[in-house]
Amino acid sequence: MCSSFLRNTFSLLLVFFILSFLPMAGAAPVKGSHVKIYVSSLPYLYTSHAVNGSLLRPANNERGWEYYMATSHSKISDTIYEFKLRQGVKFQDGTPFNADSVIENMKYFKKKPFLFSKINTVYDHAEKVDDYTVRFYLKEKYGTFLNDVIWIQFYTTKYLKKFGWNGKATCPNLAEAGPYGLGPYILSEGYIEGDRKTDKAVLIANPYYYDKDSVKVEKFTIYTKLDSKVALYDIMESEGHLDIMPIAFSDVKLVSSSPYAKLVTGPSTDNIAIHINMINGNEKLKDKKVRLALNRAIDQRELLNYAFSGYGQIKPTLASPNFPGVKDAVKNLKAYSEIESPKEIRQELKSTLDGLQLKVLTQQKYMFLWRSLDRDLRKVGVKLDFEIVDETTIFKQILSTNAGKNTKSWDLIVWGDDDWYFNHPWAATFVYQPNSVWSTMPADPLMGKYIDEMFRATANTPQFSEVLTKMINHVYKNAYMLVVPAPNKVVAVNKKVSYTPLPMASLPLWDIEVSDDHWSIKNNGDK
């Protein structure tokens, strides 16, 4: 009996010893935790990977992505890619995710793919190798395929039968609330798409998510439309109304002195895109000499020091210097105002621009920039007429201008071209693609040639650097956009929330945490 007791005791100790070395089961989100976020620009991009699953997702590393629903991949040839899928994954409605899910989604994708790259023409088909292995076949060499894979997201059969793929010029997202995705959070209220969104969306923790440790907060409320002044007051002077929001550069000192909010800043690959309407805007804008004069009149150093409060970088082209290959591509270029001070050539510029009147469409959030631009351009005889609109209107007008179907007349239009292609300058060069809905310039065959070459090349290779240099030089000489400094990330964050912004357009809800004395924990999520 004693021997049996000892044997049993030893067995139990051995079990406990082994269990102590096994990984713990994933922790549940903190009960009652609730974080409120204002996303003032491109909310469909920022929230997409928290709701939807793709083979890869954005990450702050050299390549710009990490594995998500895939665990590895191999490039079998220039036109064949194979992915190993994560096992044991379920959709938010509890149905299994596997190779069949990928194949089903790719059939719908083939019918209505997104239209902001070349994937809609180079993708051929996908093939199931086994239950957790798929192969993608392309029609030609396409070095940017992995950047597109980040946006090939997978949906339940129910969602596909109801909505299919969107076939829009913007990235995909959910057309309605429901358990349709694979991400750590379920869209339970509202919707956020590129061309339509509710003022508020609610996301709740996905009980089926494969990585429980990545679901730290029970609930997120995403605001897509707020009065920026009221929002700033709420985050600075109280708790429970707002936890995270981008701020104007001029508000940095205010936030730094707040008892409730902290200032979080960091580098970014974001850009502020100012389109020049060469399709049906002021006829004078079709003249390269006029476009060059407008750019030469802008004092980027003054803009950086005052409008941006120093939080940015002077640059000669739309693409941020933080993109791979851009610093090398622009090493022989300077912003026009860094070559000649606008003050010293004012009379020359005035002879070209005096009397020019331009209609500007802008969101209120960019008036900090336009006040400085208006000052510079007034000095050379240019009059700007402003119309304040929302982001949805901005996109509707841009996306209809190439076909001449815009419903508002405009000459200059601005939007936050935050980096959605993740560590690849296509996010700031796609606006030059001939006949694209994103282009507001006449078709340029040479640009089309350069873009085709760039798609075939892989980032960080000599071939990529060579074509990017030629492309940027061509854009610079033709002044196809109005160029301003590249902004840094500048965000106000509740002091009891842990959040570090990624340099690109992605809000990593899976990394956000709250402390035990956060308002939602104390109030048990009542607000």
Residues 6+ apart with CB under 8 A from 156: 91, 92, 93, 95, 179, 180, 181
CATH number of 34-265+490-523: 3.40.190.10
Average pLDDT for residues 239-255, to the nearest whole number? 95
Please give the radius of gyration of the chain, using alpha carbons only, rounded to the nearest integer.
25
Length of the chain: 527
Classify strands 271-276 and 261-266 as parallel, antiparallel or unpaired. unpaired
Q: Please, are residues 195 and 170 in contact by the beta-carbon 8 Å criterion? A: yes
How many CB atoms lie under 10 A from the CB of residue 247?
Answer: 24
For the chain, the first-to-last Cα distance in angstroms comes to: 61
Tokens read off for 15: 């079990």
The span from the CA of 445 to the CA of 451, in Å, is: 10
> Crossing angle of helices 346-353/288-296, nearest 10°?
140
What separation in angstroms does the CA of 9 have from each of 5, 18, 19? 6, 14, 15
pLDDT above 60: residue 3: no
SS3 128: strand
Q: Which residues sit opposite 192 in a β-bridge?
A: 197
Largest CA distance in the chain: 108
The span from the CA of 46 to the CA of 169, in Å, is: 17
Alpha helices in 297-345 (DSSP H): 300-302, 326-329, 336-339
Q: Which of 280, 270, 294 is nearest to 480 (CA)?
A: 294
The span from the CA of 209 to the CA of 215, in Å, is: 8
> Crossing angle of helices 462-478/445-456, nearest 10°?
160
Number of H helices, E strands in the chain: 18, 24
pLDDT above 60: residue 1: no
Q: What is the pLDDT of residue 32?
A: 95
The span from the CA of 416 to the CA of 394, in Å, is: 10
Classify strands 65-67 and 56-58 as parallel, antiparallel or unpaired. antiparallel
Looking at every residue in the chain, the average pLDDT score rounds to 92
Q: Which residues sit opposite 215 in a β-bridge?
A: none
pLDDT in tens, 123-137: 999 999 999 999 999
Q: Which of 525, 416, 517, 501 is nearest to 245 (CA)?
A: 501
pLDDT in tens, 353-396: 999 999 999 999 999 999 999 999 999 999 999 999 999 999 99
Average pLDDT for residues 88-103, to the nearest whole number? 98
Tokens read off for 390: 């929302």
Q: What is the pLDDT of residue 168?
A: 83
Domain ranges in the chain are 34-265+490-523, 271-487
Tokens read off for 381: 């005889």
Q: Please, are residues 128 and 75 in contact by the beta-carbon 8 Å criterion? A: no
Q: Please, are residues 499 and 493 in contact by the beta-carbon 8 Å criterion? A: yes
Q: Which of 498, 33, 508 is nearest to 264 (CA)?
A: 498
pLDDT in tens, 431-441: 999 999 999 99
Alpha helices in 136-287 (DSSP H): 145-149, 157-163, 228-237, 252-256
CATH number of 271-487: 3.10.105.10
Q: Please, are residues 360 and 386 in contact by the beta-carbon 8 Å criterion? A: yes
Claim: this prediction has a pTM higher than 0.85: yes
Q: Which residues sit opposite 243 in a β-bridge?
A: none
pLDDT above 70: residue 330: yes
pLDDT in tens, 136-188: 999 999 999 999 999 999 999 999 999 999 888 888 788 999 999 999 999 99
Q: Please, are residues 243 and 493 in contact by the beta-carbon 8 Å criterion? A: yes
Q: Which of 195, 225, 223, 226 is nearest to 395 (CA)?
A: 195
Q: Which residues sit opposite 37 in a β-bridge?
A: 222, 244
